[in-house]
Chains A and B, each alone.
Chain A
Amino acid sequence: MAELYKRFGGGLGTVFLALVAAWLAGMVLAPNVMMIDYALRPNLPPADIGGPRDVYSLSNVLYLANEGVHRAIFFKTVWASALVAFVTLMVCYPLAYWLAQNATPNQTAIAILALTIPFWINEVLRTLAWYILLAFRGPLNAALLALGIIDEPVRWYGDGGVLAGMTYAYILFMLFPIYNAIESLEKSQIEAARDLGASVWRTHWRVVIPHAKAGIATGCVFTFMLAAGSYVAPALLGAPGSRWFTEIIYNWFFEGGDWNRGAAYALVLLVLCLTVVLVTLKIARVNLTDVAK
């Protein structure tokens, strides 16, 4: 802060601080406080708000705990998000390794451009592309039928479709942290491991992955949070059997008309995400500040 004042002087420094403070208070703190407030109060008709029945309680959270279907969807969302993170990691790690260690600068530039271009359009439209690809009478089924791999079209919408759509949507959030981490690994480390007789697998397990651990943890945390909070992919690519927890929240707000219960559900999801982040970072022995980099 002293640094800020030294660089910009008293007036401008104060303005900057005030702007940041206002942003934090208005855009981060206030919505979350409101969410907690909503979550802990009952859903009442306007006349009763502020009345004797308007008291704080955990009843909305308990409702989730006792509602079997919602509870099941909640846990399914948790492990399915973890699965999305894992699959994205499996896709991104080899690619990131190739980009960081083996590709020529030209290849890297082209590959990164090709990966980034789809992100110039909106996530909804990108997911819609998968909606078309995976349609029952869509190109994927047509191609597989033509190749004789399947005898009749497959219904991709559902868990498989959601997994594919999310993996695609979050690939860059996994790729870049890992790429950055592996890029900083000195090539001679990999050569030394090979020279000492290590297999490819051992070289990765003992040398590359430990080095890239922070990047991998960061990518997994990002992907998990985005997947758990995702709405578009499950809404478009899902089936009735693959409902996502965010869809339940949406329903409380816009169909059930019960903002309080919706806020409680959202709060539970937020707490879950925070827990997962902190536990993952603890396991990977990575600091929150490393992730922010």
Chain B
Amino acid sequence: MAFGQTRAVTDVSFTVEGGEFFSILGPSGCGKTTILRIVAGFLEPTEGTVLIGGRDMKGLGPDQRPTAMIFQSLALFPLMPVWENIAFGLEARGVAKTERRKKANDLLKLVALEGFGDRMPGELSGGQRQRVAIARALAVEPQVLLLDEPLSALDLKLRQHMRAELRALQKRTGVTFIYITHDQSEALAMSDRVAVMSEGVLQQVGAPRELYDNPATPFVARFVGETNAITGRVAAIENGIATVESAFGPLSGRAGDGLSAGAAARLYVRPEALQHKTRGENRLMATIERIDFEGAFALAHGTLEDGSRLTASIASTELGEAPEIGTRASFAFQSANAVVLPDG
């Protein structure tokens, strides 16, 4: 897909299973909204095709596709009562008024807003409006529901609540959800599978756990969850374990794709994989600068000998044994909990 000279999205290809909760995750400007708009039919791709249920969508407008979109702003019609909003798609299909009203009431029940049909959208709270938007989209019985960061306007508490609600609703209705977000915790928490994008290029598609444990590219390693990166050169690869010669001695982790001995590489290790201990392999020495208490755990931020940063997670129950601020502390990790990827 290209806008003038700018290519917004290049070579993106993925398959979403029926009834799946599929997220597209990436920073703003990565092209995820472009993909959603191509699937919805608001944009025609310059090259490539969109198939829904095996049917080529080429030349079909948004009004003819078996998709329904939930906009970032929700785009509820402010001058129509809630039930007319929900039944708008049915009205466009020529369904009789009594039947529309009945269907709207059924959907209101589904999203736990019974009795709100005659309110105006302006009289509802953020979370309620969210649910009306979902009901309105579901009213046209789409095969695929497209959600463009619909939770981004809500506050944290409500957002977490709506995540669970969306997930439950998706399971209950069995409709395929394609969900766009820049919030990785949102994508990981709700999705069956996640596609990670950066600068118009698809980085990796996989289950949340897979993305987190086995990032395929440095971008995914950095973007999905917190991580520490240590640069070096590949000394050896054996049984899927790569040893990196770094400024802090040899460190090893699971070998990613595209590694070759002697090539520049980075080792990625998650904060929670680092343990405060003075013995064992894969040790790193850091000067502790700050410890941020987050509730269930605390994050110790330190500096390695070459000045690069290291973050380690310490469970709150073990805070008593935590290193003190200003001291040098030793952290170790197991090779199975680290990933080595080509540097680039």
Binding site for B on A (CB under 8 A): 186, 188-189, 191-199, 202, 206-207, 210-211
| Cα of A189 to Cα of B80 in the assembled complex, Å | 12
- CB pair A186 B62 closer than 8 Å: no
Determine whether B63 belongs to the interface, using a CB cutoff of 8 Å to chain A. yes
* Nearest opposing residue in chain A for B80, CB measure: A206
| Cα of A206 to Cα of B63 in the assembled complex, Å | 16
Tally A-B pairs: CB < 8 A.
62
Q: With A202-B92, A206-B77, A210-B79 given, is the CB distance from A197 to B71 under 8 Å?
A: no
* Nearest opposing residue in chain A for B89, CB measure: A196
* Nearest opposing residue in chain A for B64, CB measure: A197
- CB pair B75 A192 closer than 8 Å: yes
| Cα of A196 to Cα of B141 in the assembled complex, Å | 10
Determine whether B316 belongs to the interface, using a CB cutoff of 8 Å to chain A. no
| Cα of A292 to Cα of B93 in the assembled complex, Å | 39
| Cα of A195 to Cα of B69 in the assembled complex, Å | 7
- CB pair A196 B71 closer than 8 Å: no
Q: With A195-B68, A198-B63 given, is the CB distance from A188 to B93 under 8 Å?
A: no
Which residues of A lie under 8 Å from residue B42 when comparing CB positions?
191, 195
Which residues of B lie under 8 Å from residue A192 when comparing CB positions?
69, 71, 75, 77
| Cα of A287 to Cα of B297 in the assembled complex, Å | 58
Name the contact of A197 in the complex, choosing from B63, B72, B73 (C-beta under 8 A). B63
| Cα of A202 to Cα of B42 in the assembled complex, Å | 18
| Cα of A195 to Cα of B67 in the assembled complex, Å | 8
Type the 1/0 row for B40-63, where 1 means its CB is closer than 8 Å to any CB of A: 111000000000000000000111
Besides A188-B72, A191-B71, A196-B139, 16 other A-B contacts (C-beta < 8 A): A186-B73, A188-B73, A188-B75, A189-B77, A191-B62, A192-B69, A194-B61, A194-B62, A194-B63, A195-B42, A197-B92, A198-B91, A199-B63, A202-B92, A210-B79, A211-B79
| Cα of A111 to Cα of B140 in the assembled complex, Å | 39
Which residues of B lie under 8 Å from residue A210 when comparing CB positions?
79
- CB pair B77 A207 closer than 8 Å: yes
Would you give 28 A-B contacts (Cβ < 8 Å), ordered by A? Answer: A188-B71, A188-B72, A188-B73, A189-B77, A191-B42, A191-B71, A191-B75, A192-B69, A192-B75, A192-B77, A193-B88, A194-B61, A196-B68, A196-B89, A196-B139, A197-B63, A197-B64, A197-B92, A197-B93, A197-B140, A198-B89, A198-B91, A199-B63, A206-B77, A206-B88, A206-B91, A210-B79, A211-B79
Name the contact of B88 in the complex, choosing from A186, A191, A196 (C-beta under 8 A). A196
How far, in Å, is B176 (CB) from chain A's closest CB?
16
Which residues of A lie under 8 Å from residue B68 when comparing CB positions?
195-196
Is the contact region of chain A dominated by helix, strand, or loop, or is it mixed?
A: helix
How far, in Å, is A105 (CB) from chain B's closest CB?
15
Which residues of B lie under 8 Å from residue A207 when comparing CB positions?
77
Within B229-251, the residues touching A (CB, 8 Å) are: none
How far, in Å, is B211 (CB) from chain A's closest CB?
30
The 6 A-B pairs of least Cβ separation, nearest first, read A196-B89, A192-B75, A188-B75, A198-B92, A197-B92, A188-B71
Which residues of B lie under 8 Å from residue A189 when comparing CB positions?
75, 77
Chain B interface size range: 20 to 34
Binding site for A on B (CB under 8 A): 40-42, 61-64, 67-69, 71-73, 75, 77, 79-80, 88-89, 91-93, 136-137, 139-140
How far, in Å, is B99 (CB) from chain A's closest CB?
16
Is the contact region of chain B dominated by helix, strand, or loop, or is it mixed?
A: loop
Which residues of A lie under 8 Å from residue B40 when comparing CB positions?
195
* Nearest opposing residue in chain A for B148, CB measure: A188
How far, in Å, is B100 (CB) from chain A's closest CB?
12
| Cα of A276 to Cα of B67 in the assembled complex, Å | 46
Which residues of A lie under 8 Å from residue B88 when comparing CB positions?
193, 196, 198, 206
Name the contact of B92 in the complex, choosing from A186, A188, A196 (C-beta under 8 A). A196
| Cα of A192 to Cα of B42 in the assembled complex, Å | 10
| Cα of A144 to Cα of B251 in the assembled complex, Å | 87
* Nearest opposing residue in chain A for B42, CB measure: A191
Which residues of A lie under 8 Å from residue B69 when comparing CB positions?
191-192, 195
| Cα of A196 to Cα of B93 in the assembled complex, Å | 9
* Nearest opposing residue in chain A for B136, CB measure: A196
Which residues of B lie under 8 Å from residue A193 when comparing CB positions?
77, 88, 92
Q: With A186-B73, A188-B73, A206-B88 given, is the CB distance from A195 to B63 under 8 Å?
A: yes
| Cα of A254 to Cα of B67 in the assembled complex, Å | 70
| Cα of A14 to Cα of B80 in the assembled complex, Å | 47
How far, in Å, is B336 (CB) from chain A's closest CB?
47
Which residues of A lie under 8 Å from residue B91 when comparing CB positions?
198, 202, 206
Which residues of A lie under 8 Å from residue B61 when comparing CB positions?
194
Which residues of A lie under 8 Å from residue B140 when comparing CB positions?
196-197
Which residues of B lie under 8 Å from residue A202 when comparing CB positions?
91-92
How far, in Å, is A186 (CB) from chain B's closest CB?
6
Which residues of A lie under 8 Å from residue B62 when comparing CB positions?
191, 194-195
| Cα of A202 to Cα of B77 in the assembled complex, Å | 13
Which residues of A lie under 8 Å from residue B92 when comparing CB positions?
193, 196-199, 202
| Cα of A192 to Cα of B79 in the assembled complex, Å | 14
| Cα of A6 to Cα of B215 in the assembled complex, Å | 65
* Nearest opposing residue in chain A for B68, CB measure: A195
* Nearest opposing residue in chain B for A190, CB measure: B75
| Cα of A189 to Cα of B139 in the assembled complex, Å | 17
* Nearest opposing residue in chain B for A210, CB measure: B79
Which residues of A lie under 8 Å from residue B137 when comparing CB positions?
196
| Cα of A196 to Cα of B140 in the assembled complex, Å | 7
* Nearest opposing residue in chain A for B79, CB measure: A210
Which residues of B lie under 8 Å from residue A197 when comparing CB positions?
63-64, 89, 92-93, 140
How far, in Å, is A94 (CB) from chain B's closest CB?
20
| Cα of A199 to Cα of B93 in the assembled complex, Å | 10
Which residues of B lie under 8 Å from residue A194 when comparing CB positions?
61-63
**Which interface residue of A186, A189, A195 has the most chain B CB atoms within 10 A?**
A195
